[in-house]
Structure 1
Amino acid sequence: MAPALCAICKTARALIVRPKDHQKLCKECFIAVFEAEIHHTITSTSLFAPGDRIAIGASGGKDSTVLASVLKTLNERYNYGLELVLLSIDEGIKGYRDDSLETVKRNAVQYDMALKIVGYDELYGWTMDQVVETIGKKGNCTYCGVFRRQALDRGAKMLGIKHVVTGHNADDVAETILMNLLRGDLPRLARTTSIVTGDATSDVRRSKPLKYAYEKEIVLYAHHKKLDYFSTECLYSPEAFRGSARSLIKNLERVRPTAILDVVRSGEDMAKLVPDEVTGGSHCKSQKVSLSSADDEDEAAGGCGSTSGRNSGGEMADMEKKLQQDEEASSREIDASSLISNPDGQRHDRIANNAETGKTVRKEVGRKLPRQTLGSCKKCGYMSSQDICKACTLLEGLNKNRPKMQIEVDVEDEESSTLRRRMEGLALAAG
């Protein structure tokens, strides 16, 4: 059987089957198509302007390494006029981040880019190893996610840069959409669906140029371009709720390759149902641009328990029970369209007659959604929708444990010393 030819050039042998659409391509055509799609994402959403200084959130992993390589290539090819800088966050995870930062340092030399490294210990007085030692592995991703987002902004300010790009890909966005959908958090879903966080007036805005790129294609691009990247999984991530969403996305992709982009597009459509007053954002072309940067992107919630995304059996019985509950709860249904007809986001009731009892019932057709009002944290000055930002709230809880633990040690030492003196006294009396 003759080898298949590339679907684009029709001459070279096809070596790659694109995970996104199963198109058979040769190496050169795949690289060209991948870069062309990223270029289209950048230009169609007007992510950059000539003269912009851009900080690339670099972790040393495949996503950020491919992002740095592609941006350097496109910047030179299409004359974007950008100044690119690598910005890395050192969470303080021995055996993981210290090794990946060595990769980032090599990338800085390979791509001829300046590199800035900012550490959790420098900003917060805590490393993630210390946080996990204090609170355990369950819930630690919440701390890291909040700290990391703020650290990126603070690092950008140190460099005098107002735009940070991250390597979030289509798989990441689809996972985040599912996580917020399962939480029932439509306002955050609307914000995290956006390709851009912040606008020209924001202190720091963030964007995701790889938003529509599949993770598998990013790996293929890195492989065929022979890029230098770090591939070890974070030591603390397996306990995260995101792991369950990732497993679900991968299972959907196996059945339907377009499922990832379908979820992303569906998330964008659902985001349009949420009033701008609630998200603090405005529509820009086909993309919603969120003005809140305190809650966006991938907030990794706490541990997912022991199930790790698996079910426990009895699915049909559970489904029948759920259907019965849905029928009983029909009087409490919420009309999502009311979110558009009532842009104030307030609750409105509708009077209706029950056909069986003849009694008048009151149906809730809308629900009050929390409004996003962006301000500054009273403690650190970081942008926040609350008086105290999430990072300061988490740090307050962590720091409370430090003096308490020290007091407990001192008390224990004092009791031991007192007991020892008594024992010595008894020994002397007996002698």
Structure 2
Amino acid sequence: MPPSICEVCHVTRAAVIRPKNSQKICKQCFLSVFEDEIHETIVANSLFHRGERIAIGASGGKDSTVLASVLKTLNERHDYGLNLVLLSIDEGIRGYRDDSLETVKRNATQYGMPLEIVGYDELYGWTMDQVVAQVGKKGNCTYCGVFRRQALDRGAAKLGIKHVVTGHNADDVAETVMMNLLRGDLPRLARATSIVTASAASEIKRSKPLKYAYEKEIVLYAHHQKLDYFSTECIYSPEAFRGSARALIKDLEKIRPSSILDIVKSGEDMASLVPPEISGSASCAADGEDTTTGCGSQNTNNESMAQMEATLVANEAAAEMETEIKLPSGSSNIQRVEAQTPVKIHDKRSKGRRKVVKQVMGQCERCGYLSSQKVCKACTLLEGLNKSRPRTTVEVGIEEEEGSTTLMRQAASLAISAG
């Protein structure tokens, strides 16, 4: 890095360009500013309270590794009084997750944090390698994502922890916003943009302390702090729909660096218009504290949404009263024009608005975990997988294989001699 004048401390040092605001900043100032911004996010959103046990969703990647490092630093610097624990999910992907878990184990030693590993195999009876062998590489990320979200809750419940933090950054949130817009999934948009998600149907809440941190900033922080993390991409993820949203956002970022936070802010603004009963988002209060962003404006948002709905209903009612107007048949020219282009004020055959499905968060009838349906998505996916799995497994031992081969050879020799 060539020496330059740092725009923060105004000292000539080797400086880098901050992706967030194109600011020239030296290494020392960058690390300090990055940590201060995470601290401000934590304080502004009241993410933690003293004495709370926190499970850090650790995958061994850059995001969760930086999250663990920063939380440890801030916990000691600002005296949060938190009890931090690493929680890892073993999806059962050979050549990927087994290697990354070795990184997590090293992080646990480096940061002095206890580590708990929960596997798909023990929770669901399937590994992701087995799932991919069953369903193929298209759509496998749906299984993994659904299973992982529930596995984090199960792992936290096993540890008796009610708060899980994940390493989702601004790029991840922007990708999720873009995916939900492309799919037209309005109810899920509110849950995706909230920095804290919780529900009365579950004791476990989640938060994203890195929500406003760029992915490039996280990489720079990990590089300058010389953190030990795993950087290989999942071998099954190239087919994921998220990859298309990621490529689109990266192209936008090249043209406008602030587009990532702009998309996040747009998602927050759109989510604020969705009533909680439709989005299925968390209630504002958790353990007697206001833990979500913007809860004080909930009534205002509901009123504005109600006004919008009333206006739309009024417009649709007015459309029903509109009539088709035909020109008088005074001349052949007018008749010909009328036959070719009938004049209508309102086309009643036009497609109406798509109805927003109401979602109410509750508990799955089968497993008891959080779900917006009677049966959660994890149980539904498992049911489909288990239908094609044989109830009993037939195992052939080495001795049986050798015995059967010997019998075949003897039968072949008898056939030859008889011939």
* TM-score using structure 2 length: 0.81
370, 384, 388: which one aligns with 1:383: 370
d(CA) in 1 for partners of 2:291 and 2:113? 32
Q: Which residue of 2 aligns with 1:287?
A: 293
Query: Which secondary structure state, in structure 1, belongs to the residue aligned with residue 230 of structure 2?
Result: coil
1:373 Cα deviation (Å)? 1.5
Mapping of 1:256-405 within 5 angstroms? Answer: 256-281=256-281, 287=293, 341-342=308-309, 349-352=316-319, 353=322, 357-358=343-344, 367-403=354-390
Query: Is 1:203 equivalent to 2:190 in the alignment?
Result: no
Whether the aligned pair in 1 keeps the contact of 2:195 and 2:292 (CA below 8 Å) is no
Which letter does structure 2 place at the counterpart of 1:44?
A
Which residue matches 1:16?
A: 16
| C-alpha contact 2:67 2:210 (8 A) present in aligned 1 | yes
Shift of 1:213: 0.3
Paired with 1:381 and 1:175, the residues of 2 have a C-alpha distance of 30
**Kept after mapping to 1: 8 A contact 2:201/2:370:** no
Partner of 1:70: 70
Q: Which moved more, 1:33-42 or 1:190-199?
A: 190-199
d(CA) in 2 for partners of 1:167 and 1:376?
26
- The percentage of counterpart residues that share the same residue type is 68
Secondary structure (helix, strand or coil) at the match of 2:11 reads coil
What is the SS of the residue equivalent to 1:378?
coil
CA distance in 2, matches of 1:390, 1:199: 17
Gaps of 5+ in 1: 290-336, 410-419
Distance 1:404 1:135 in 2: 18
- Asked if structure 1 preserves the Cα contact closer than 8 Å seen for 2:3 and 2:15, the reply is no
Decide whether aligned partners of structure 1 residues 288 and 178 sit closer, same or farther in structure 2, where only a CA change above 3 A counts: farther
Letter in 2 for 1:87: L
Q: Deviations over 1:99-139 (max 9, x none)?
A: 10011001001111010000000100000011111111110
Residues 95-110 of structure 1 mapped to structure 2, 5 A cutoff? 95-110=95-110
Partner of 2:34: 34
Unaligned runs of 5+ in 2: 285-289, 296-303, 326-341, 397-407
Asked if residue 189 in structure 1 is aligned to residue 189 in structure 2, the reply is yes
1:262 aligned counterpart, secondary structure = helix
Confirm or deny: 8 A CA contact 2:189 2:279 kept in the other structure. Answer: no
* Deviation per residue, 1:230-276 (Å, 9 max, x gap): 11110100010011111011111111110100000000011112122
1:232 partner amino acid: T
Matching residue of 2:137: 137
* Counterpart for residue 52 of structure 2: 52
> How far off is 1:228 after superposition?
0.6
Match of 1:112 in 2: 112
- Corresponding position of 1:324: none
Runs of 4+ in 1 over 6 A off after TM superposition: 283-286, 345-348, 404-407
**3-state SS of paired residue (2:13):** coil
Structure with the greater alpha carbon radius of gyration: 2
TM-score, normalising length: structure 1:
0.79
For residue 5 of structure 2, give the secondary structure of its aligned residue in structure 1.
coil
1:18-74 deviation digits (Å, cap 9, x = unpaired)? 011110011110001000110111111111111110000000000000000000111
**Structural RMSD (CA):** 3.2
The separation in 2 between residues aligned to 1:378 and 1:99, in whole angstroms, is: 36
Corresponding residue SS for 2:317: strand
Cα distance between partner residues in 1 of 2:234 and 2:178: 22
**How many Å separate the matches in 2 of 1:14 and 1:237?**
37
